[in-house]
Amino acid sequence: MSNARAPENTLIYAVGDIHGQSHLLDDLLDQIVNDAQGFAADRRVLIFVGDYVDRGPGSADVIERLITGLPDGFETHCLLGNHEVILLTFLDRPGTLGHWLLNGGEATLASYGVTAPEDFESLDATTLCRDDFAAALPKRHLKFLNALELHYSCGDYLFVHAGLRPGVKLKKQDPKDLVWIRHEFLDSGEDFGAVVVHGHTPGRMPVIRSNRIGIDTGAVVNGRLTAIRLHKKKRNFLSAG
């Protein structure tokens, strides 16, 4: 959709995968606030496409900022990423700790003052770790994680963490695909009825296709956190790092 546009009098910013890089988030939010001052818009929307935790050192700080420290004057939407799914799964099933650690969970545990056990195959050890983490995780953080949205639509754009399964209507999409899908979506040229803005698959620069825009620029791997600004028919990017 080359003529995709944001709704009238609406300014949209969507932020890519943060992965515990709280300093990049702070920088980018300051940029967004300053940038938004240059636009006359009745409605300002700020969207985060998921993966707030893991790999970077500031996961707890990132979630706290998203709960209590976002700029005034923006309608905000925080989406669910696969790394939040992994975290929540660990709280329910401590035996999945090994999977979380392979995906950068040790950094998240450390940000809450919890040390991962050396033996993550021991159910006793993983259960104790889960109990310690559950006790350290503020109730407001757990409430935030449980309330994350799967997708959000605005104008001719659909925002989601990973993407959509081709050939399936939005209402029938499997929630697992919305947070995990990769190549079936990335390699598809299908018109999804909206331009899909997503994270999940990092690259050095944003990826722009006719049917999708990828905004995960590798906050940990590449040291860059990116946001897209959508206003009328124009698209621009801001980045920190």
For residue 107, the number of C-alpha atoms closer than 13 Å in the C-beta half-sphere is: 19
- Indicate the average pLDDT of the chain: 97
Strand partners, 239: 226
Q: Please state the pTM of the whole predicted model.
A: 0.97
At residue 85, what is the residue type? V
Secondary structure in 3-state letters for the chain: CCCCCCCCCEEEEEECCCCCCHHHHHHHHHHHHHHHCCCCCCEEEEEECCCCCCCCCCHHHHHHHHHHCCCCCCEEEEECCHHHHHHHHHHHCHHHHHHHHHCCHHHHHHHCCCCCCCCCCCHHHHHHHHHHHHHHCCHHHHHHHHCCECEEEECCEEEECCCCCCCCCHHHCCHHHHHHCCHHHHCCCCCCCCEEEECCCCCCCCEECCCEEECCCCCCCCCCEEEEEEECCEEEEEEEC
Strand partners, 195: 157
Confidence at residue 3, expressed as pLDDT on a 0 to 100 scale: 86
Confidence at residue 235, expressed as pLDDT on a 0 to 100 scale: 96
How many residues are there in the chain? 241
- List the domains of the chain with CATH numbers: 20-240 (3.60.21.10)
Interval 6-51: pLDDT, tens: 999 999 999 999 999 999 999 999 999 999 999 999 999 999 999 9
Sign of the alpha-carbon torsion through 145, 146, 151, 153: negative
Could you read off the pLDDT tens digit of each residue along the chain, which spans 241 residues? 668 999 999 999 999 999 999 999 999 999 999 999 999 999 999 999 999 999 999 999 999 999 999 999 999 999 999 999 999 999 999 999 999 999 999 999 999 999 999 998 899 999 999 999 999 999 999 999 999 999 999 999 999 999 999 999 999 999 999 999 999 999 999 999 999 999 999 999 999 999 999 999 999 999 999 999 999 999 999 999 9
